[in-house]
Structure 1
Amino acid sequence: MNSGLKSGGSARQQRPCLSQVEVTALKGVGKQLAQKLGRLQIHTVQDLLFHLPLRYMDRTRVTPIGAVAPLANVVIEGEIKACDVVYGKRRSLMCRLQDGTGTITLRFFHFSGAQKKRLQPGVKLRCFGESRRGASGLELYHPEYDYLDADQPIALEARLTPVYPATDGVTQQRLRSLTEQALALIDDYSLQELIPDDAWRRQPYPLREALEYLHHPPKEAPIDKLLEGTHPFQQRLAFEELLAHHLSMLRIRQRIQAAGATALAPVPDLQRRFLQQLGFSLTGAQARVSAEISADLSRPVPMLRLVQGDVGSGKTVVAALAAIQAVGNGMQAAIMAPTEILAEQHRASFTRWLEPLGISVGWLSGKQKATERREQLTAIESGEVQVVVGTHALFQEEVRFSHLGLTIIDEQHRFGVDQRLALRNKASDGGRSHQLIMTATPIPRTLAMSVYADLDCSVINELPPGRTPVKTVAISQERRQQVIERVHAACQEGRQAYWVCTLIEESEVLEAQAAEAVTDALRNLLPDVGIGLVHGRMKAAEKDQQMRAFKTGELQLLVATTVIEVGVDVPNASLMIIENPERLGLAQLHQLRGRVGRGSAESHCVLLHGAPLSNQGRERLTAMRETSDGFVIAEKDLQLRGPGEVLGTRQTGEVQFRLADLQRDGHLLPRIKEVASYILTSHSDVVDALILRWLGDSENYASV
């Protein structure tokens, strides 16, 4: 008789898969608990089995108190030698426990009178908790404990204890108990091996064996490997999870492309005229990537292409060539940028390049006046505007195109994950517009292969001739006066400089100096230098005025926050000072550095750091000094910060894995790409089940 399910169900006789058994079938799970489990994406018994431990605790052995290390989860036994209420910042009950090898303190901030009465000298305890350094040496805060009785010994755990992701109202003990029930059902219900045998190079560990081991590791299990996530059973499941995510992205690609798109044939005459007026030749990399884009646009399926190019590699020209191909076929193109500054720069470039060719360029911004906005919306809907440049205002429902054929999204990582596809239904013929996504933030290979698996990738890996490498130095704030003198000398020689701050307002929490305070200080110290200020809270008109004054040379020094990370192109600027660079990610530092070195003059970037530097801060600055290769920097950034931070908080939804880790498991991705392609073509019937198992009902972009 199966004791794992509530009695009275007929589902057992039909022997369904565990993915079909509702979690409410388990004993003790009513409607209220089921709702709480739903917050953990646990709806079925299979979901429970794939709700894997975050870590493990070893309660299988007693550690001598003298051998306890800081920050270790340990089981200890000993006799209470003293127990008193201590008054300090917080009242606490402190018990001194000894076992003959050493002494440790048990500290309770919340305790009852009855508890205090029982914890008396001479009482023997077995405790479990995490050791921390405290005022009296090593301490356990609020440990779990049992009273030891020589006549009734308490058995130690036989296995490592799993610690699961939890939520309010669902305790670890409840999750362990429910998982026990779920494991007991594997014998009687089907747990499908969804990856076909012929997709593996060698037969993997059976799924059931891997799940049972990870929920119930034996006490001799290598806990170091389990904590690192490198145990073979974890790798077996990590492979399946990454495969499910990869398949979900490819399925999205299939759905988008199934709708079709207008084929946009090359327009060689128009493109030749465009190139002739540029005044410079394309690099080999620009020509190669433009050819890839042109070939995509020529097909009757939506282009889905990501173009990566390091700072200054010339992505905007490539985007303009794509827009010309759309316009030459009677279609419209939309270019979307994350900031007003970058959008304004694109508007200026596209207007300068395209209007001489008879192509009209429109502008849509969230900060436009109502009259101007209405005029632009009318012109876009009528088709009078052929190329429209804008910010996120282009997403909005009221924006209607006459015949949108191409959308270009710049600096994709600045938008939320759903916004990549927000323009997908703007095409007027019922199909999808072609999409070109650009980024000057090189994406580490592992992220490109997973997060952007639905996109074809092109790389512009060559800088235009004449671009001079930026020399980077790290200097302590103690030498600040020398740096100011260097800035003064550069400005006196007719060059321009940036001074980048990480804050706008003074803060006691962060030690970075505010941009406004720095501006005032520099104006006092350098009265003969024209100094401007740009930060994100300024009004658009004021910000634009300062930027224009800097571009025209009216201002020699621009103090700014990181709003100038993208979108500012001043060839005469050859010196950049970045304050407190240790507070920024490597990719952001690299983007900022890319604002200089855009002309022929030798350029420098000074990293004006605080002291002392953390190990990670030192590693970042070393990487900046040693390389100007954005892709090398991107890999180092991923190593130091992890995928969630590299992509930005709005993107972390794309990399929320239960078990897999993109840094640790990146070596699996090439094989996953092969297996995913094979399954889609030869075993498409298992795709939905794999996605459902690992992503549940939250498949990314499920509605596309």
Structure 2
Amino acid sequence: MPRAARPTPALAPAGDAPLTSLRGCGPALAEKLATRGLSTVQDLWLQLPRGYEDRTKIVPIRELQAGAAAQVEGVVEAVEKGFRYRPMLKVAISDDSHGTLVLRFFHFRAAQVAQFQPGTRLRCYGTPRLGPQGLEIVHPSYRVVEPDEALGSVLDPVYPQIEGVAPATLRRLIGLAVDRLPPDAALELLPVEWWADLGLPSLHEALVTVHRPQAGDDIPALLSGRHPAQRRLALEELLAHHLSLRGQRRAHRAHAAPALRDARLANALRDGLPFRLTGAQARVFAEVARDLAQPVPMLRLVQGDVGSGKTVVAAMAALLAVGDGQQAALMAPTELLAEQHLVNLRGWLEPLGVRVAWLAGKVTGKARAKVLAEVASGEAQVVVGTHALMQEGVAFHDLALAIVDEQHRFGVHQRLALVDKGPRARGNVPHQLVMTATPIPRTLAMAAYADLDVSTIDELPPGRTPVTTVVLGADRRPELVERIRRACAEGRQAYWVCTLIDESDEVVARAAQTTFDELTAQLPELRLGFVHGRMRPAEKQAAMLAFKNGDIDLLVATTVIEVGVDVPNASLMIIENAERLGLSQLHQLRGRVGRGSAQSSCVLLYQPPLSQMARERLATMRETNDGFVIAERDLELRGPGELLGTRQTGLAEFRVADLTRDADLMPRVQLLGERIAERAPQLGGRIVARWVGGAVRYASA
């Protein structure tokens, strides 16, 4: 960091002031704002607009387009009040372009109706839509104006709504806060050299531009979030969250963890396997073993495509804990997946004399009491289960390694709960190994998992054949029925996946129940099974087990099988209404086939017409089997929240940054994070305090 950088307070004095110091903000209003984390003037500086309304020009009514927000001005021609199904007020206005527009209100007061006298001039803003009598705007913002009344000269910011606070009140308070912005010298935390070469403005200029854009500013850039002012704010916000995650990691690693170095059992498992580890598996296990040998907690994410062999690596890691006389726990999001792990681990570990226990919601009564006693005494050396592992009554004797599968399906608090099961009384916390079969694009991993080291199993075991993917319209269903008949006659098995359980009028999709009934009638010689999310776990388990054992030829299912059992004999996957699913989910489903040596196929059935995004998704699936390519494309198309499950991961909801749009800033963010950590850690604390504040939600997750 340049020597010229001087310490700056985390909160400039003007920003540190409470909201009640602003005119018109009393204790009651301040309390409502505090529920959204807004308690100081600086918090309002960083309460950024989610969009803008352009009231700097009037659009002739004849030139209005449905779906495009605009401001119009016209004279009231007619007013109609009705109570057909609910109260309704319609006001027709016209202008010099000889166009007519209907303003429609469902909530109105008598005083409002009195305003709309024929001949009154109104200036209205809203988004037109096609109505019964042409274009209309529902609940526009409007005011009565005089002829030739001046237009505004700046865009109007639109802020995120806060319950109990009128938008106009919030806009006024933020305006007062922006008036108090100090000059650059008192506000700036980052040295000029860190952002000027990107063509970005100072923080003061960026905040003023974002809150008060002028008519001459690049409006399209502002509306798309790509204006240099927004990029400047995004850079600092991404840096703050990056530093926050690094800080959490540092706090976690300040704890002690048991050093696990006895590799005899792990080596015995490796040497006794009926297959050789791939080079990628061996490399990742070496990385895990190196971490576990240290007396500080491991925090490692192992990502690998469907079927890449992550469970074997997890089993060998668990044996490092057992070899040292301690316990390991493996937690999976569903009983189905947890039970698959149980079968694999018992098959590999019990011949080595290792006791593997099973703890899920359906383990009850005396059986549950027995397992809990074994876990508490240490007799159970490896414990496999669902979120039941984290319940209060579960006490481990000496948990040294917590393995979490499909991390994005768990909340970070759930991951923490398992970590808390470690022997903290001795000052130790367990090591953590997090696994995911949803490949995470590098830029997203840099932002969302900066607190974890990332290992990648980027090689499939030999014998796995690439799955051929074809895309067909729904009118080709009869051909597919014949294809299933032929495949099953050859001794193979097939999946038919539907996206709904029951028929729905709202969505054009064939329900799983209807499909099951139709296929049963069309394929009387085959044994059909049916699995969906509303079934009891025992019924679902029985159907999946029957399919795995070869007692079912064709399994009709909803997407519950996305993370499911391994059936090497299944070679055909049909996904109905594939246009309704995201890329990662399609890839997970496709991964259910191609697990044996037979040539496998995945058929994506779609219901035309296709949207542009659906067309791109299906084309990507046809072009590649590479989970990482698919994840990158999914990030572009859907954004990080959907890809990771934002609420579940604890991934922060950013004020201005967008991990897809601003991905190119992440290498700079990582570089700056390293500079700050090495040379100016106090500066990092001030940046985190400004953008994240007390909301460092998951300190040790």
TM-score normalized with structure 2 length: 0.93
Query: Which of 74, 78, 84 is residue 70 of structure 2 equivalent to?
Result: 74
Query: What's the counterpart of residue 585 of structure 1?
Result: 582
1:28-62 superposed Cα distances (whole Å, 9 cap, x missing partner): 11111011111332100000111011111122223
Residue 449 in structure 1 maps to residue 446 in structure 2: yes
Residue 397 in structure 1 maps to residue 375 in structure 2: no
Q: Structure 1's 229 and 92: CA in aligned 2 closer, same or farther, altered over 3 A?
A: same
Query: What's the counterpart of residue 11 of structure 1?
Result: none
Partner SS for 1:654: coil
Query: What's the counterpart of residue 511 of structure 1?
Result: 508
Alignment of 1:102-251 (within 5 A): 102-111=99-108, 115-116=112-113, 118-149=115-146, 154-187=149-182, 192-196=187-191, 202=197, 205-251=201-247
Q: Structure 1's 20 and 596: CA in aligned 2 closer, same or farther, altered over 3 A?
A: same
Query: What's the counterpart of residue 671 of structure 2?
Result: 674
Tell me how far apart the structure 2 counterparts of residues 625 and 76 of structure 1 sit (CA, whole Å).
47
Query: What's the counterpart of residue 55 of structure 1?
Result: 51
Point out the more displaced range, 293-302 or 57-66. 57-66
Tell me how far apart the structure 1 counterparts of residues 344 and 236 of structure 2 sit (CA, whole Å).
46
Indicate if the aligned counterparts of 2:184 and 2:204 stay in contact, CA closer than 8 A: no
Indicate if the aligned counterparts of 2:195 and 2:232 stay in contact, CA closer than 8 A: no
Shift of 1:194: 2.6
Indicate if the aligned counterparts of 2:301 and 2:455 stay in contact, CA closer than 8 A: yes
Query: What's the counterpart of residue 289 of structure 1?
Result: 284
Partner SS for 2:187: coil
Residue 542 in structure 1 maps to residue 518 in structure 2: no
Indicate if the aligned counterparts of 2:91 and 2:116 stay in contact, CA closer than 8 A: no
Shift of 1:111: 4.6
Q: Structure 1's 535 and 106: CA in aligned 2 closer, same or farther, altered over 3 A?
A: closer
Query: Which of 8, 17, 20 is residue 21 of structure 1 equivalent to?
Result: 17
1:623-656 superposed Cα distances (whole Å, 9 cap, x missing partner): 1111111111112222222211112264275241
Query: What's the counterpart of residue 331 of structure 2?
Result: 336
Tell me how far apart the structure 1 counterparts of residues 627 and 104 of structure 2 sit (CA, whole Å).
50
Query: What's the counterpart of residue 382 of structure 1?
Result: 377
Q: Structure 1's 201 and 397: CA in aligned 2 closer, same or farther, altered over 3 A?
A: farther
Query: Which of 554, 557, 563 is residue 554 of structure 2 equivalent to?
Result: 557
1:135-173 superposed Cα distances (whole Å, 9 cap, x missing partner): 3333333333344435xx533212211111121221221
Indicate if the aligned counterparts of 2:184 and 2:203 stay in contact, CA closer than 8 A: no
Indicate if the aligned counterparts of 1:644 and 1:652 stay in contact, CA closer than 8 A: no
Query: What's the counterpart of residue 311 of structure 1?
Result: 306
Residue 360 in structure 1 maps to residue 355 in structure 2: yes
Query: Which of 274, 281, 285 is residue 279 of structure 1 equivalent to?
Result: 274
Indicate if the aligned counterparts of 1:502 and 1:512 stay in contact, CA closer than 8 A: yes
Query: Which of 558, 566, 569 is residue 572 of structure 1 equivalent to?
Result: 569
Partner SS for 1:24: helix
Shift of 1:341: 0.9
Alignment of 1:29-40 (within 5 A): 29-40=25-36
Query: What's the counterpart of residue 455 of structure 2?
Result: 458
Partner SS for 2:300: strand
1:314-342 superposed Cα distances (whole Å, 9 cap, x missing partner): 11111111111111122211111111111
1:207-228 superposed Cα distances (whole Å, 9 cap, x missing partner): 1121112111111111111011
Point out the more displaced range, 496-505 or 657-666. 496-505
Query: What's the counterpart of residue 296 of structure 2?
Result: 301
Q: Structure 1's 685 and 296: CA in aligned 2 closer, same or farther, altered over 3 A?
A: same
Shift of 1:347: 0.7
Indicate if the aligned counterparts of 2:467 and 2:601 stay in contact, CA closer than 8 A: yes
Q: Structure 1's 563 and 86: CA in aligned 2 closer, same or farther, altered over 3 A?
A: closer
Alignment of 1:489-500 (within 5 A): 489-500=486-497
Residue 631 in structure 1 maps to residue 628 in structure 2: yes
Point out the more displaced range, 244-253 or 474-483. 474-483
Q: Which runs of 5+ in 1 are unaligned?
A: 1-14
Tell me how far apart the structure 1 counterparts of residues 538 and 146 of structure 2 sit (CA, whole Å).
78
Shift of 1:16: 6.2
Partner SS for 1:592: helix
Residue 619 in structure 1 maps to residue 616 in structure 2: yes
Tell me how far apart the structure 2 counterparts of residues 610 and 105 of structure 1 sit (CA, whole Å).
36
1:381-426 superposed Cα distances (whole Å, 9 cap, x missing partner): 1111111111111111221111111111111111123223222222
CA RMSD of aligned residues (A): 2.3
Indicate if the aligned counterparts of 1:565 and 1:595 stay in contact, CA closer than 8 A: yes
TM-score normalized with structure 1 length: 0.93
Residue 264 in structure 1 maps to residue 272 in structure 2: no
Equivalent AA in structure 1 for residue 170 of structure 2: L
Q: Structure 1's 94 and 198: CA in aligned 2 closer, same or farther, altered over 3 A?
A: closer
Q: Structure 1's 71 and 505: CA in aligned 2 closer, same or farther, altered over 3 A?
A: closer
Indicate if the aligned counterparts of 2:579 and 2:606 stay in contact, CA closer than 8 A: yes
Q: Structure 1's 703 and 358: CA in aligned 2 closer, same or farther, altered over 3 A?
A: closer
The aligned length equals 687
Tell me how far apart the structure 2 counterparts of residues 317 and 106 of structure 1 sit (CA, whole Å).
64
Partner SS for 1:457: strand
1:335-376 superposed Cα distances (whole Å, 9 cap, x missing partner): 111111111111111111111112111111111122111111
Shift of 1:491: 0.7
Partner SS for 2:454: strand
1:88-112 superposed Cα distances (whole Å, 9 cap, x missing partner): 7664322231124644333344455
Shift of 1:523: 2.2
Tell me how far apart the structure 1 counterparts of residues 428 and 69 of structure 2 sit (CA, whole Å).
57
Equivalent AA in structure 2 for residue 206 of structure 1: S
Q: Structure 1's 328 and 117: CA in aligned 2 closer, same or farther, altered over 3 A?
A: closer
Shift of 1:277: 1.5
Query: What's the counterpart of residue 9 of structure 1?
Result: none
Q: Structure 1's 556 and 71: CA in aligned 2 closer, same or farther, altered over 3 A?
A: closer
Partner SS for 1:422: helix
Query: What's the counterpart of residue 8 of structure 1?
Result: none
Query: Which of 483, 487, 504 is residue 484 of structure 2 equivalent to?
Result: 487
Partner SS for 2:651: helix
Q: Structure 1's 264 and 655: CA in aligned 2 closer, same or farther, altered over 3 A?
A: same
Query: What's the counterpart of residue 4 of structure 1?
Result: none
Equivalent AA in structure 2 for residue 105 of structure 1: V
Point out the more displaced range, 518-527 or 339-348. 518-527
Indicate if the aligned counterparts of 1:643 and 1:655 stay in contact, CA closer than 8 A: no
Query: What's the counterpart of residue 5 of structure 2?
Result: none
Partner SS for 1:662: coil
Indicate if the aligned counterparts of 1:473 and 1:607 stay in contact, CA closer than 8 A: yes
Q: Which runs of 5+ in 2 are unaligned?
A: 1-10
Tell me how far apart the structure 2 counterparts of residues 558 and 74 of structure 1 sit (CA, whole Å).
52
Shift of 1:86: 6.7
1:466-522 superposed Cα distances (whole Å, 9 cap, x missing partner): 111111112222222221111111111111111212223343333333333333332
Point out the more displaced range, 129-138 or 30-39. 129-138
Q: Structure 1's 569 and 115: CA in aligned 2 closer, same or farther, altered over 3 A?
A: closer
Point out the more displaced range, 394-403 or 201-210. 201-210
